[in-house]
Amino acid sequence: GDTNLVEDAIDRLPSHEDNNSAVEAFQDLKTYLGLPIALGGSQSRIDKFLVKKDDFEHTFEWDIQTVGIGTDHRMISLRLTTERAPTIGHGRWVWPAHLIRNKDITEYLNDEGLKLEAELDALEEDKARGQWNPSRNAQTLWASWKSRAGKKVRDKSRIVIPKLTEEIAEIKNKMDIIVNDKELTEEEKTLSGAVLQEKLSKLEKQRHNGSRLSAQVRNRL
């Protein structure tokens, strides 16, 4: 949650204490609600998790990340499960959006599509002559083409990473290096981190807008 305060001065960058009355009231609230487990991100830990002790062992994938909407806070997220939760699979495979315009993929599909078209035409000629092969017909040819196309895209998706995702990962890595650099002063960390955070916010906004556009297209279809 966003409490706009921290309990320890070290949790702010630059370091300073918050109002004691507000901190004590917050600690009393945590005790009353049974929320002793807290996790904050790097630098100023205003955005944080508060989890009951009994629920803590059932949580995973804790994360605090920059979001693509206009806000001066970061979004916290976690997954909460129970011992009785059913097993959920990965769902259907979906063609990665960033490969739709990939040159290698489009050329491969075009070439394979032309071959398939020629094979289907040949089947029609065989059919006109009264010839039919149960193991080689339109359905089996289509199935084979789809299988080859899917394998090609899957193999490519393991290699090609969306440029935007790559840039975001690179900036996050730089931010981690700066935070853990013992040779930098707190002021240098603050200034460098602020510049990278601004770049990260812009990239996350681009990714968010792209996701919204994809959702609009899916819903329209």
Average pLDDT over residues 11-40: 71
Q: What is the DSSP string of 56-69?
A: HTTEEEEEEE--SS
Query: Does the pTM of the predicted model rise above 0.85?
Result: no
Residue 32, SS3?
helix
Fold of 163-220: Methane Monooxygenase Hydroxylase; Chain G, domain 1 (1.20.58)
Is the pLDDT at 18 greater than 70? The verdict is yes
Which tens digits make up the pLDDT trace of 85-97?
788 787 888 888 7
Check: CB of residue 184 under 8 Å from CB of residue 192. Answer: yes
Is the pLDDT at 46 greater than 70? The verdict is no
- Between residues 42 and 63, which one has the greater pLDDT? 63
Check: CB of residue 77 under 8 Å from CB of residue 60. Answer: no
Check: CB of residue 41 under 8 Å from CB of residue 47. Answer: yes
- Between residues 213 and 111, which one has the greater pLDDT? 111
Is the pLDDT at 150 greater than 80? The verdict is yes
